[in-house]
Amino acid sequence: MTGTVVTWLTQEAHDRLQHELNQLVAQRPVIAAEINARREEGDLKENGGYHAARDEQGKQEARIRQIQELLRTAQVGVPPADDGVVEPGMVVTIAYDGDDDDQETFLLGSREEGVHGSLQVYSPQSPLGQAILGASRGESREYSLPNGRTQKVSVLDAKPYVG
């Protein structure tokens, strides 16, 4: 699987995505019927309903492809090793450099996870996620902020997520 990004998901998130995918696939005939009905109304250049239905179909098909790819590459509910090394599926606590009181704890996983209680989810592809991937407890890393400055963080803890 070279070049394929594995996505870590909880079983709950996997089931929710599978349910959403099933609903979207079941909606395909409804959208197709709407497009056909709007096509029958006449001149397609000035038919706003037709164009709206086509746009909706495009969005729906894009979401179907996105979910299918996520599920195809998903690693579901398999906790990472409890070795203190940051990787997807870990609950990570970091401290921002220069302010030991400014700590943050989050789940490193797919944004499709949403929020788990008070625990935010950060993507491994985010600037912070990319910077701390592979870091061990006590290790410091830097990443670029949107304003061009860099932020240094220290990994205080990294433990497997237990749902």
Strands 120-122 and 103-108: parallel
pLDDT (0 to 100) of residue 98:
74
Instruction: Using alpha carbons, select from 131, 127, 133, 126 the residue that is nearest to residue 89.
Output: 133
**Token representation of residue 68:** 């299918």
**Token representation of residue 46:** 């000035």
Cβ distance 133 to 123 under 8 Å?
Answer: no
Q: How far apart are the first and last CA of the chain?
A: 27
User: Are residues 108 and 63 part of one domain?
Assistant: no
pLDDT (0 to 100) of residue 1:
38
Is the full-model pTM beyond 0.75?
no
Q: What is the pLDDT along the chain (163 residues), one digit of tens a residue?
A: 345 667 788 888 889 999 999 999 999 999 999 888 888 877 777 778 888 888 999 999 999 999 998 898 888 877 788 888 999 889 999 999 876 678 999 988 887 776 666 788 888 889 999 999 999 999 999 999 999 999 999 999 999 987 6
User: Are residues 101 and 60 part of one domain?
Assistant: no
Give the CATH number of the domain where residue 113 resides. Answer: 3.10.50.30
Containing domain of residue 28, as a range? 7-76
User: Are residues 153 and 107 part of one domain?
Assistant: yes
pLDDT (0 to 100) of residue 45:
73
Residue at 108 is within a domain: yes
The number of folded domains in the chain is: 2
